[in-house]
Structure 1
């Protein structure tokens, strides 16, 4: 059994919910990533993605230097444990259509890394990555009705 610990990216950069959306975007640019775990102290409280910034902040007309990460981050974050089997994590990623999952230590319950679909596809010996990618890439239904003017 191959575990998440074997393929995850450790030492992940995090951001505080009290930081500005502008700082989150700058950090994403510096790190060349599209998502950053949000931690209040040692506690994981959410994730902020480039999509959160675009859809929840910019589209709402918020000024990036006035809006806060805590106001636009996703709080319903799926996590996994570092000792968890990668096939199980891949199944979850496919089911809920996510490409990256924060990794939590089983004992301390603190963030110890992040695992992405890319990590699992390139570093694991599992064939489940292809199925997960197929499920993740299937378009989802809109979360609200569209009105055109």
Structure 2
């Protein structure tokens, strides 16, 4: 069983781009979404497709299972999505022993930029780059699931950054 341990932060400015890779386009949608579990399909700009099952009540630590799937089947699964399809470009940015993933959202969430860092333990304290802002780990409105389902406080998320 794989554990996902990650922290999320809003991104401040563009300084991270100096160190980022070229990025990859991602479209993702949720097939099943409950309070403690979700099943999503994700299509990558390089032709890959994956199904991911996440189980757990906290945003910091969850069980995660990922499976490669056929691209055509993944495209078909999008027809069964609940809520909106999330569009984003993910950039990888190395910083002091960790690789940060910076998601630049498009579509209805255009303007929102979130950085996340995966950890090997809940006790890890990664050095924070000067381009990360407020931590949003555990704030459900910043989860992709909540954004896809349109669950928010009624405010535009990118206006909160």
Shorter-chain TM-score bucket reads under 0.3
Bigger proportion of residues as helix: 1
Larger gyration radius, structure 1 or structure 2: 1
Scaled by the length of structure 2, the TM-score of the pair is: 0.26
Scaled by the length of structure 1, the TM-score of the pair is: 0.27
Bigger proportion of residues as strand: 2
